[in-house]
Homo-oligomer: A and B are copies of this chain.
Amino acid sequence: MKNLKIGICGWGNVATGLYKTIKNNYDQITSNGNLNIDIAVIGARRDNPKCDPTNVKIERNIFDVINHDIDVVVELIGGVDTARELILTAIKNKKHVVTANKAVIFNHGNEIFKEAHNNGVRVLYESSVCAGTPAIKILSEELAANKIRKITGMLNGTSNFILSNMEEGANFASTLALAQKEGYAEPDPTFDIEGMDAAHKIGILSSLAFRTSLPPNDFYIEGISSIENIDFKYASEMGYTIKHLAIAKKNKESVELRAHPVLIEKIQYLANLKSVRNGIEIETDLLGILHVAGSGAGQESTASGIISDLVNLANSEKNTSNIDDHKIIPLADFLKLTFQYYIYIEADDIPGVMASITSTFADKKIGIETIVQKEELKEGIVPIVIITDPFLESENAELIKKIDELDSVKKVRSIRIEPF
């Protein structure tokens, strides 16, 4: 049996969940994981009334945790700047690091991994993506022999919860309020619903699959706040639903990295994952399509991922990320990608409106796959739904602007269609 002495930095929900899981599931961890985890010290600025860590030394300054006789610093303070400083200091003091903090890995991964490499220690971060649902280790170990072609992730539980409810007819605002009440969404949900959370996660997965850097260069990120209920109705009539996906795809000499809402066919696997579930579709040369789905948050799930990292640390020597292997691989230019689009238009119900819209497409030499004028929305206003042929992303903003400028058009928006 291996033994690891750990120091836990941070004492919120995730940390107390980890503490309780190490106690409650001791038999599993020793028997399955061949590991005894000894919590030697906890760095907690203040006590947590929900959890009393009997017989564990408490440090009020989290940086003092590093000075204890421990093997691993478990960083659970969240945030970026202090977390980065804590992790780098731990590494310089020859401590391994386990973290569930996606923001710090996304923003400072390369710097952290390089420092770890130079100091002969390891940094593991399974719970930073989809909590305990295994994603990091599948990519870095189970699929080690595979050439990854594409990772398609539904990585944000809040967005999926909202879109799943909107699909059933609920509106955005009431569903967001429900998500906040149920604890699925933060009081300030911007990070989730504007796509940043999913973007962080796909950036981390891309670094494992394609050796893109952490942080990656800027890539296209769009959230779900512009989606309306009527889009689900019309998408559904054509066999689609709407999801927020984060995608990393290997092109010839670059990697396509993006996170935005898409129409996907209802028969697709990811279309059928509802509520707060997270799901990942990985396409490789050897396995074809692999699917993994599970809970993407929660203190127990996060504890599961952190403990799997500790088991890995104790029993294995393999680095998940070796900075020496990071070659600079450029990100694809988003504007040069090609998509089919769903375009929703509200227009005056007058003669000639279809002609003026279709002329706009013709002027830009953009093909239309289907165009349907729907029944009147209100007095004199009709929705028009278009599925385009594939065309360059760089043309889209201009096309939408031209349509919007038509006198008869009151509203227009577009959603990309994701091919599978």
Q: Which residues of A contact B (CB under 8 A)?
A: 21, 25, 28-29, 31-35, 126, 132-134, 137-138, 140-147, 269, 272, 279, 284-295, 298, 300-301, 303-304, 307-308, 311-312, 315-319, 322, 325
Contact partner, A145, options B272, B295, B304, B317, Cβ 8 Å: B304
A142 near B146 with CB under 8 A, answer no
A420 to B207, alpha carbons, bound, how many Å?
36
- For residue A143, give the distance in angstroms from its CB to the closest CB of chain B: 7
B132 near A287 with CB under 8 A, answer yes
B311 near A141 with CB under 8 A, answer yes
Residues of B within 8 A of A312 (CB): 141, 316
Contact partner, A316, options B138, B295, B315, Cβ 8 Å: B315
A319 to B137, alpha carbons, bound, how many Å?
17
Write 18 A-B pairs (CB below 8 A) sorted by A numbering.
A25-B146, A25-B286, A29-B144, A32-B140, A32-B143, A34-B322, A133-B287, A134-B290, A145-B304, A287-B301, A288-B294, A288-B298, A290-B293, A290-B294, A291-B291, A291-B294, A315-B316, A315-B318
The verdict on A31 contacting B325 (CB below 8 Å), with A145-B308, A272-B272, A286-B303 known, is yes
> Residue on B with the closest CB to A303?
B286
Residues of B within 8 A of A301 (CB): 286-288
The verdict on A133 contacting B316 (CB below 8 Å), with A29-B145, A146-B25 known, is no
Residues of B within 8 A of A319 (CB): 34
Residues of B within 8 A of A33 (CB): 141, 144-145, 318
Contact partner, A142, options B34, B134, B290, B317, Cβ 8 Å: B134
Residues of B within 8 A of A141 (CB): 33, 137, 308, 311-312
Contact partner, A285, options B145, B284, B300, Cβ 8 Å: B300
> Residue on B with the closest CB to A22?
B145
The verdict on A144 contacting B311 (CB below 8 Å), with A34-B318, A133-B290 known, is yes
A285 near B25 with CB under 8 A, answer yes
B294 near A145 with CB under 8 A, answer no
A216 to B144, alpha carbons, bound, how many Å?
32
In this complex, the member of A34, A132, A269, A272 whose beta carbon has the largest number of chain B beta carbons within 10 angstroms is: A132
- For residue A263, give the distance in angstroms from its CB to the closest CB of chain B: 19
In this complex, the member of A137, A288, A298 whose beta carbon has the largest number of chain B beta carbons within 10 angstroms is: A288
A315 to B140, alpha carbons, bound, how many Å?
12
A304 near B287 with CB under 8 A, answer yes
Residues of B within 8 A of A287 (CB): 132-133, 294-295, 300-301, 304
> Residue on B with the closest CB to A302?
B286
- For residue A327, give the distance in angstroms from its CB to the closest CB of chain B: 10
B304 near A146 with CB under 8 A, answer yes
Residues of B within 8 A of A137 (CB): 141-142
Which 5 pairs across A and B sit closest by C-beta, in order of nearness?
A33-B144, A315-B318, A145-B307, A316-B316, A134-B142
In this complex, the member of A32, A137, A311 whose beta carbon has the largest number of chain B beta carbons within 10 angstroms is: A32
A147 near B294 with CB under 8 A, answer no
B295 near A293 with CB under 8 A, answer no
Residues of B within 8 A of A288 (CB): 294-295, 298, 301
A385 to B411, alpha carbons, bound, how many Å?
53
> Residue on B with the closest CB to A282?
B294
Residues of B within 8 A of A147 (CB): 25, 28
B29 near A308 with CB under 8 A, answer no
A308 near B142 with CB under 8 A, answer yes
B34 near A308 with CB under 8 A, answer no
- For residue A212, give the distance in angstroms from its CB to the closest CB of chain B: 14
Contact partner, A286, options B34, B272, B304, Cβ 8 Å: B304
> Residue on B with the closest CB to A26?
B145
The verdict on A28 contacting B146 (CB below 8 Å), with A286-B132, A303-B286 known, is yes
- For residue A269, give the distance in angstroms from its CB to the closest CB of chain B: 8
> Residue on B with the closest CB to A146?
B304
